[in-house]
Amino acid sequence: MSDKAILEVNGLSKIFDVSKPWLERTLNGESKKTLKAVTDVSFSIPKGETFALVGESGSGKSTIARMIVGLMPPSAGSISFDGTNITSSDFGKIRRRLTMVFQDPYASLNPRWRVEKIISEPLRAFNLMHSEKDIRDRVAELLTVVRLDPLDGAKFPHEFSGGQRQRIAIARALASNPEFIVCDEPTSALDVSVQAQILNLMRDLQDRLGLTYLFISHNLAVVRHMATRVGVLYLGRLGEVGPAKELFRDPKHPYTRMLLAAVPDLYAVDQERPPVQGEIANPINPPSGCTFHPRCPLANARCRSEVPVPKVAVGEAIVACHAIEEGRTEPVAA
C-alpha cells in the first residue's frame, strides 16, 4: 500500500445479526440468521485523491462508509487513518479530521435549528472555539466558502432549496477543518442541474483545502467526473480496484463491464458489450463460490465453488476473478 495513503482499510468485514427474536425463533424451530454486508474489503486512499465506491443497491457501500466514520464497529479488519488504527485506538482523537456528508440534505439537517447553530455544532462539540464572536465569524466564513450568504445563518433549513441545503451540510462537514470527507450519494437526491454545481463546489473545495474524499455513488457519470480511483463492490466484496481513467477505458471484471455496459455513453467503444442480466442476490443466502456467478457470462465450475480474491493484477487494476486469472474470455458450456 502507498506510503502517502491517508486512509487504509484492511480485511474489513461487517456481519449483521438479522435473526428473529429469540422466542419467535424457538417456537418456530428456526436458527439464527446472519447477513454478510461487507467481506474482506481492502483499499487505500492517497492524500488529496477521490476514491469512489460503486455497486448496486445493497452491495455494502454505506456500511463501509459508516464503519470508516465510526458510526458502527467492524466485525473484522482494520481501518487506519494517517497511520493510526482507528478501530483499536481512541476514535475521539481522529473524529474531527474525518467527517461525512449524507445523501439526503432534508433529513440530515435538524429542521428546528437555525443554520448558524447547525454549522457551529461541530465547533462546539469538539471544543474548537469558545468565544461567540469567533464562532459567528467562522460560520459566516463557512457560508461564504460554500457560496451562500453569511446572513443565511439566521434562517431555518426549510427556507432553502435542496442544493442550498446540501451546501449547508458541506459547510457543517467543513467546520472542524477535516482532512477527509466521506460523501455517501451526496447529490443523488438533487435535480440534475443542481448536481453539477454541488460536484464542482466539492472539487473546488478539494483543491483549495487539500481534502481527500471517499465518494459513494450509483451514478457512474458522476463517479467518472469525481474519482481518481474506483472500487467496484458486489455483495460486499471488491471485484475490481484501480485508477478511474483505466477502469472507464478498459473495465476488466465481468461485473464492472456489466455496470458500464448499462451506461452506453461511458463504455469504451471498442469493447464488446456483455448483456445486463439478473439482479443482485440475497446476501442472507448468497450464491456459492464467486457470488456473481449466476449473472456472469464467463462463470464455470471453479467459479461456482471457489471464492475469487482480489489478487490478479491487470494493468494498474487489481481484480478478483478466476476467468481473468486463467486468461479466459469466452463463455464456457455449463
Ligand X SMILES: Nc1ncnc2c1ncn2[C@@H]1O[C@H](COP(=O)(O)OP(=O)(O)OP(=O)(O)O)[C@@H](O)[C@H]1O
Interface with Mg ion (CB under 5 A): 61-62
Q: Which is nearer to ligand SF4, 236 or 308 (CB)?
A: 308
Amino acid symbol at 247? L
Kindly give the residue spans of alpha helices, DSSP state H, lying in the chain.
Answer: 22-28, 61-68, 92-95, 115-125, 132-145, 162-174, 192-209, 220-226, 244-249, 254-261, 301-305, 322-326
What part of residues 235-294 is at the interface with ligand SF4 (CB under 6 A)? 254, 290, 292-293
Length of the chain: 334
**For ligand X, which residue of 6, 12, 37, 312 counts as binding (CB under 6 A)?**
37
Binding partner at 310 among Mg ion, ligand X, ligand SF4, none, C-beta below 5 to 8 Å by kind: none
CA 272 to chain centroid: 28
Residue among 13, 39, 50, 62 that touches ligand X (CB under 6 A):
62
Of the CA atoms within 13 Å of residue 242, those in its CB half-sphere come to: 23
DSSP for residue 20: P
How far is it between the farthest Cα atoms of the chain? 73
CA–CA dist 153, 117 (Å, integer): 8
The item of ligand X, Mg ion, ligand SF4, none sharing an interface with residue 293, based on CB under 5 to 8 Å by kind, is ligand SF4
Find the part of the chain contacting ligand X (CB under 6 A) among 52-60, 193-201, 204-212, 265-273.
Answer: 52-60
Residues contacting residue 7 through CB under 8 Å, at least 6 positions apart: 44, 45, 51, 68, 79, 80, 81, 180, 212, 214
Instruction: Give 163's Cβ-side CA count (13 Å radius).
Output: 14
Which of ligand X, ligand SF4, Mg ion, none sits in contact with 323, Cβ below 5 to 8 A by type? Answer: ligand SF4
Which residue of 186, 283, 308, 310 would you call a contact of ligand SF4, by CB under 6 A? 308
CB of 62 to Mg ion, least distance (A): 3
By a kind-dependent CB cut-off of 5 to 8 A, residue 173 interacts, out of Mg ion, ligand SF4, ligand X, none, with none
Q: Which residues bind ligand SF4 (CB under 6 A)?
A: 254, 290, 292-293, 296, 298-299, 303, 308, 321-323
Q: Which residues bind ligand X (CB under 6 A)?
A: 16, 18, 35, 37, 55, 57-63, 218, 283
